[in-house]
Each structure stands twice: as C-alpha cells, then as structure tokens.
Structure 1
Amino acid sequence: MTADSVPEIRELSPELTKVARNELNEDPLRIASDLEQLKEWLIKQPHIKARKDDQFLIAFLRGCKNSIERAKEKLDAYYTYRTTAPEFYAIRDPFDKKILEILEKGVVIPFPDALSDGSRVLINRMCLFDPKHFDMNEVAKVGFMIGDQLLVEDDNFVVCGTVVIVDVKDLSLAHGAQFTPTFVKKMAQFVQDAYPFRLKAIHFVNVPSAFDFFFKLLSGFLSEKIRKRLFVHDNVAELEKHIPKKLLPNEYGGDNGSINLWICKWKDDLLSKREWFLDDEQYKTDESKRIGPVKNPELLFGFDGSFRKLEVD
C-alpha cells in the first residue's frame, strides 16, 4: 500500500467519525500515510513478526490518539508480552476443552449495546470458574482472545473505549490464592502498556471483605490516571448509577435479556474465528533478533526491576 492508496478499514459511522476526529486527533487524509509508516517501521524491526493488515494497525493508531511513535511502542510491547507470557497467548484454539468450558460459562462477555457515549461495556465474572480445575491464567487467556477480536471487529471498543464490570461475587480463598503479585502485575502491565484501548472505568461489584487485599495489590501496579477510574460497589444495584438499566442483563437487574443469550453469541463467534486464532499464534517477537537489550519475563515481570507506568486514555 502506498500513501495514496485507500486503506482497507471499515468506514466509521458519523458519530464515531466525530469522536475519532475530536478525541483521537484522526485526520482521514493522513490515515493511509500513517499506516504506511507503521508498516515500514515493522519491516525494519527484525525481532517483531506482526500482523500488518490495516484494520489491525488502525486500532493501535486510534488507541494511541494517532501518535505514530506511541503506536510503535504499543505494538512492540503487545508482541513482546505475547512472547514473554505464553500462558496467556499460546494454544488459543477456541475448540480447546478448557477454553470452550470458560466460554460456555461466560467469564468475559461484551454487552451487545454501547453506552450513550459509544463506549463498549464488558462484564468479567472471573470467579465463576472452579479453582480446582482451572487457573487464572486460563481465564485471562480467554479474556485476551475476546479483547483481540474486539480490536479488529468493534469500532466502538477502539474509538470510544470500554467500561469493565468485574463481578467478584463468588471470590473464594482458593481464587484469591491465584491472584499472585506476579499475575496481577502482568495483567496491569498488559492493560497499560500493550493494549491500544481506552479504559474508561472499572466497576467492581458484589465485593466481599476479602477483596480489599487484591484491590490494594492491583492499585499498586496501576498509574494514577487508571486508579482514579476504579469504582467499588457492594451490590449490582449501584451499577445503575453508571450504566442504564436498559443495557444491563436481567441477572444484574436490567432489562436487556438474559446473559445466557450473550454467552451463546460470543461462544459461537469465537468458534467461527478458529482459523484466525490458529494463524495468529505465529505473530510474536524473536528476542534473539532484537536490536538492543533483550526482553525476558524476569526483566518485564520480576520484582527486582522497576515498573514503568504508562499514561492511558
């Protein structure tokens, strides 16, 4: 593609076009040349094997407010973490028995309707799984699979951002034991450093007293900007102050149908993308080819080094 070519991306609605222009500094006349610069940069990075399709790359530009340099940093981090945290990114076959079971439980589910500002809402019921048979890494893997699909398929998610509801109703000591400092730090770094999305808010609901330790641990790894977007609620009724009842599923006091229907839709959607996920496993970094200091799990996630916090919009 040359700078004069037409990018192969979906046309935004008039509402999303306005948000992209006013909040993400998007200039339609620059999209083609900006995408070309990203591709040329990726070609010159011997350690990165990356997707180069326009729809994927535009998500990184938009998630970085169309700053090419920030998009480069984000792309490098995204693929570096895929390599250094294989527990999240290896073997992402939707038909894998454990992945399929997590999908069927609906641990991570996007809402079918966006908020009035266009933001996509996701609900994370991370404590639904049986900790004797699953671990938090497997649950996180499915969450990242859904996140990757939203990056390439959902313009509301990319342009307007996302609001996350984390339901910890069934949190047990066995669940809590899996929230190790290393796991929590990885999740925080992935969200802040690697994923090109605008995190508008995280609402924790049905919070038990034992949740306090996890909340303090998580907060310690987040930037001040993200910490200000964390909200804790004792029950789901308090969600209505932030999310209209008409958008919430019946199980959360809303009028938008049963969450079981949403689960079926997303399970079927990911199963239909099996070939995409199998192909996607090839994209990562080869640290032996990196020009400069090699990145490894100890350097990125160990507790002896410093933890770099990026500002996220």
Structure 2
Amino acid sequence: MSSDKSECDNQLRRDRELAELREWFKHNENLPQEIEPLLLRRFYQCMYCDAEETKKLIEVNYALRNKHPHLFIKRDPLDADSRRTFDYADILPLPGLTPENYKVSLYCFRDFEASKMHHTEDTRAFFMVADCRFITLDDIARPEILSDGEVQIFDMKGTTMRHISRLTISTLRAYIKFLQLAFPVRLKAIHMVNCPSYLDRIVSIVKPFISDEVFKLIRFHTTSIDTLYGFVPRAMLPQEYGGAAGSLSTLREQTQKVLAANRDYLMDPRHWQVDKPEKRNGKSWKLFN
C-alpha cells in the first residue's frame, strides 16, 4: 500500500510540475509561443524530473535552434531539398524500445553517389524526423512510457572519402553541440556498422570536430553486423539487418507519412521561433548517461 501511495504522490508531483512548466513556458519571452505536451514531458524526463534543470535545458534548446534557423526553423519536409535527402538516404526511427528503455534510430545510404550528399540539408532533414518523433509515442502498446535514452545506428556501407569531403564543418559542429547540450533525450550510444577498411582515415578527419563525450559513445562494428545484436534486439531492426521490424521500404513509408502529417507543426514558427531573443546566462551541461 505504501509503494502505491508513493507512486501516486510522485505522479501528482509530476502533473503539478508539468503544469507549472507549461505556464512558465507560455510567459517566457525567451521561448516560442507554444510547446507540444509530449515534448515538454520529454524535456522533464530527460532532466530526471527536476523542474529547474528542465527550464535550463529548454532555454538552451531554443537558443541553439534560433542561432541556427537554417537547420531548425526554416524548413519544409516536402520541399526539393528534403526530397533529395530522402531519395538517397534513410533516416528512420525504429519501432519499440530496447530492454534498457532506449529508442533506436537508423541512418543509411540508399544511393552511394557522393554528389547526392548535401550535408546541411541532410542535417536539417535529420532534425525534422527527430522533432516529429518527439511528439509521437515511443511504444503504442505502452503510451505512458517514454524512452530513457537515444541509440543511433549509422550504416557506413557505401561511404567513401568523397562523402567525407562534402561535410560542412559548421553544420557538423552545430549538430554535435545540439546533441550534447540540447537534445530532449539522453544520447546513450552511437553504433557505426559496415565500417570500410579505411575507417582510420575517416576517423582522423572527423574526430577533431567531435567532442570527447560524444566520441566515447561511438562503437565501431568492423567485422560483422552480428556484434550489433548484443546492443540492439534483432526484433527492433529492419529485415535487411537480420531483424523482424519490417522492411526498410515499409519503415521509410511510415516515416514519410509522419513527416507529411506534421508538416504544419514543423513549419509553424510559433513552436520554434523566439520573437524576442534575449541574452542567456544559463550554465551548460552534458546530456549523456
């Protein structure tokens, strides 16, 4: 009985603090006009239900968004730039959660021609998919459960030095900084699969632009994709990766439907744009483990 009462008390406290955070958000001129309730819950859970730390994370998130509007605000999931990205690459949240309660996303090329890579536009597409996921339930069968962390899988099949030469350093820095300081979930692991024989050359080029905290989370799978199964259940992976989550084409179609359905949300400045940006003095922190 006491444990039931404790859980009830915790739920009442969470509900009260989330309501207070909504009011704080609404009246904070350093923030946009609106925030989706599920996204607010993610910020709150990410900071272990600490309301004050949640406020700091939210302010950093929108400060970085407004510092890089070409990545986070000026966007359209159905425009020509987005279509080019989704025609040559897959950016796919995978269904379900790991036993550790982590959400998994997969990124891979469908077309290996390096000239089709446009790093800034591709990064913008990545964040559109992420922003849609953050207002979508992680597990339909358990709507009350939110993920406790993020696992990313990058398939390096077809990656050449020509691809690496097309990286935009400013975009890479903004991407890493946002993951490290502003993501509404905690980054737990990055898995690189189908690594090429010249992996060392690629790492030597990009490592100076990746923070030590992020680099420590990267695991390179150099021999076989089988080593990935020790970290991500096969049931969550696409058929093409030995899993049971459906084909890449099915997952791609589902993701595109979600993007189209949320186009107005992604393009609505009321959810993203700060009308009166102020100087922020909040401390920085790292969202890992």
TM over 0.5: yes
- Assess if the C-alpha contact under 8 Å between 1:127 and 1:168 holds in 2: no
Kindly indicate whether residue 38 of structure 2 is the aligned counterpart of residue 55 of structure 1. yes
CA–CA separation in structure 2 for the residues paired with 1:252 and 1:105: 18
* Residue of structure 2 aligned with 1:93, choices 66, 76, 80: 76
Q: Closer, same or farther in 2 for the Cα pair 1:232/1:215, shift >3 Å?
A: farther
Identify the structure with bigger relative contact order (alpha carbons < 8 Å, sequence gap 6+): 2
1:278: how far off? 2.3
The secondary structure found in structure 1 opposite 2:286 is coil
CA–CA separation in structure 1 for the residues paired with 2:280 and 2:101: 41
What amino acid is the match of 1:310?
Answer: K
Map 1:212-223 to 2 at 5 A: 212-214=203-205, 216-219=207-210, 221-223=211-213
The secondary structure found in structure 2 opposite 1:164 is strand
Offset from partner CA, 1:33-77 (integer Å, 9 cap, x none): 212332333344323224234222111101111111221111111
Kindly indicate whether residue 66 of structure 2 is the aligned counterpart of residue 83 of structure 1. yes
Report the counterpart of residue 152 of structure 1 in structure 2: 135
Report the counterpart of residue 310 of structure 1 in structure 2: 286
Kindly indicate whether residue 230 of structure 2 is the aligned counterpart of residue 241 of structure 1. yes
Q: Closer, same or farther in 2 for the Cα pair 1:158/1:215, shift >3 Å?
A: farther
Map 1:35-74 to 2 at 5 A: 35-74=18-57
Offset from partner CA, 1:128-174 (integer Å, 9 cap, x none): 57543441111111111111111111345943322110112222223
1:92: how far off? 2.4
Q: Closer, same or farther in 2 for the Cα pair 1:190/1:109, shift >3 Å?
A: same
- Assess if the C-alpha contact under 8 Å between 1:184 and 1:218 holds in 2: yes
Report the counterpart of residue 157 of structure 2 in structure 1: 169
- Assess if the C-alpha contact under 8 Å between 1:110 and 1:123 holds in 2: yes
Report the counterpart of residue 285 of structure 1 in structure 2: 274
Which deviates the most, 91-100 or 77-86? 91-100
Kindly indicate whether residue 182 of structure 2 is the aligned counterpart of residue 194 of structure 1. yes
CA–CA separation in structure 1 for the residues paired with 2:191 and 2:173: 19
1:243: how far off? 2.1
- Assess if the C-alpha contact under 8 Å between 1:50 and 1:79 holds in 2: no
**Percent of matched pairs sharing the same residue:** 23
Q: Closer, same or farther in 2 for the Cα pair 1:52/1:168, shift >3 Å?
A: same
1:28: how far off? 0.9
- Assess if the C-alpha contact under 8 Å between 2:156 and 2:193 holds in 1: yes
> How many residues are aligned here?
275
The secondary structure found in structure 2 opposite 1:231 is strand
CA–CA separation in structure 2 for the residues paired with 1:50 and 1:56: 14
Which deviates the most, 36-45 or 136-145? 36-45
* Residue of structure 2 aligned with 1:211, choices 202, 212, 218: 202
Q: Closer, same or farther in 2 for the Cα pair 1:257/1:152, shift >3 Å?
A: closer
CA–CA separation in structure 1 for the residues paired with 2:113 and 2:270: 27
The secondary structure found in structure 1 opposite 2:106 is strand
Offset from partner CA, 1:275-312 (integer Å, 9 cap, x none): 222225652224x641557x9xxxxxxxxxxx965243
The secondary structure found in structure 2 opposite 1:310 is coil
The secondary structure found in structure 1 opposite 2:34 is coil
Q: Closer, same or farther in 2 for the Cα pair 1:175/1:141, shift >3 Å?
A: same
* Residue of structure 2 aligned with 1:124, choices 99, 107, 112: 107
Report the counterpart of residue 27 of structure 1 in structure 2: 10
- Assess if the C-alpha contact under 8 Å between 2:97 and 2:104 holds in 1: yes
1:178: how far off? 3.1
- Assess if the C-alpha contact under 8 Å between 1:126 and 1:139 holds in 2: no
Report the counterpart of residue 3 of structure 1 in structure 2: none
- Assess if the C-alpha contact under 8 Å between 1:126 and 1:167 holds in 2: yes
- Assess if the C-alpha contact under 8 Å between 2:89 and 2:109 holds in 1: no
1:110: how far off? 1.2
The secondary structure found in structure 2 opposite 1:27 is helix
Offset from partner CA, 1:214-267 (integer Å, 9 cap, x none): 452354x242xx443221111423212222333322222334432111111111
- Assess if the C-alpha contact under 8 Å between 1:184 and 1:217 holds in 2: no
- Assess if the C-alpha contact under 8 Å between 2:46 and 2:148 holds in 1: no
